[in-house]
Amino acid sequence: MPLQRRFSWTQTILVILVTLFSLACLFPFLMVISGSLSTEKDIVNNGYSLIPRHVTLDSYKILLLGSNRILDAYGVSILVTSIGTALSVVVNGMGGYVMGRRSFKYRNILSIYVIITMLFSGGLVPWYIICVRYLDLKDTLWAMILPPLANAFNMFLIRNFMQSIPEDLYESAKIDGASEYRIFFRLIAPLSVPVLATVGLFVALGYWNDWFLGLMFIDKSELQPLQLLLRALISNVEFLKSSGNAAAMQRIAPAIPSESIKMALTVITIGPIVFLYPFVQRYFVKGLMVGAVKG
């Protein structure tokens, strides 16, 4: 009975700590939503608060007036994230599969080569020259997809998970005449859904939040991703004032609420990622723990 009581108290303390930590993680998100609904005057005079003093939708109305550019940026980000995530999971999965095969003679050499890419970099200038001069990625969607496609950390995460799969499965598939591609896509990939979903979440977050590649390679406004548009807005909100709907914007608000617009656009940009989490949450812990512990 005392043991059960101590165990119950331990569980209670852990639940309280996890609840407090969850609320601490939720607090900044609520602050952003509150800021997007606050007036510019309240933010300037009183700062950000958890509950807006005077609720207004002016920031969202102004963003809707410039909705064409935002929708274009949304489409670019969704397309880049979807294609990039799918290709990256396949590339990293195949790389982890090869490094995890005990029958592959050069798997240790390949692993060392992949580790070296984590420790050393060729530098920004050579990387930029290769992408622009030799790969001709300037002003293309592939410029935001190909550079981060392969990731050494994700490959090792997948490799460690796949090493937990019994070697007898590979041998049985080989006896039945299956090729390496068939073994990977029809046998190993379905068994590795937890780690592939975990890596897919990491990759999707990276693609969705990336603005640097767009800044480096994209000059055409119609190809700019959403995060680059957000960065431009944070740096300078003058593009709203100079748009064709500037007169309509001035009728909505005497002065364009720059601070609340930043918060409103932040709320808009995080939407798809928030909806992505519930679909991969059940795989996340299992895939990450098995991939990290298994050596």
pLDDT tens by residue, the chain, 295 residues: 454 555 577 788 888 898 888 888 888 888 888 888 888 777 777 777 778 888 888 778 777 776 677 888 888 999 999 999 999 999 999 999 998 888 888 888 888 998 898 888 878 888 899 989 888 999 999 999 999 999 999 999 899 888 888 888 888 888 888 888 888 898 888 888 888 988 988 899 899 988 899 989 988 888 889 888 877 776 666 555 555 555 555 554 455 666 777 788 778 877 777 777 766 666 665 544 454 444 4
Q: Report the C-alpha gap between 248 and 192 in whole angstroms.
A: 53
- Looking at residue 293, its pLDDT comes to 45
3-state secondary structure 219-252: CCHHHCCHHHHHHHHHHCCHHHHCCCCHHHHHHH
Q: Report the C-alpha gap between 86 and 212 in whole angstroms.
A: 21
Name the pTM for this structure.
0.77
- Looking at residue 38, its pLDDT comes to 83
Contacts of 87 (CB under 8 A, 6+ apart): 145, 149
- Looking at residue 295, its pLDDT comes to 43
Chain centroid to CA 275? 12
Phi-psi region of 155 (alpha: psi -120 to 50; beta: other; left: phi over 0): alpha
Are the beta carbons of 139 and 79 closer than 8 angstroms? Answer: no
Computed on alpha carbons and rounded to an integer, the radius of gyration of the chain in Å comes to 24
Structure tokens at 59: 């920031």
- Looking at residue 235, its pLDDT comes to 67
Q: Report the C-alpha gap between 127 and 291 in whole angstroms.
A: 30
Are the beta carbons of 248 and 158 closer than 8 angstroms? Answer: no
Q: What are phi and psi of 154, to 5 degrees?
A: -65, -35
Q: Report the C-alpha gap between 17 and 20 in whole angstroms.
A: 5
- Looking at residue 203, its pLDDT comes to 92
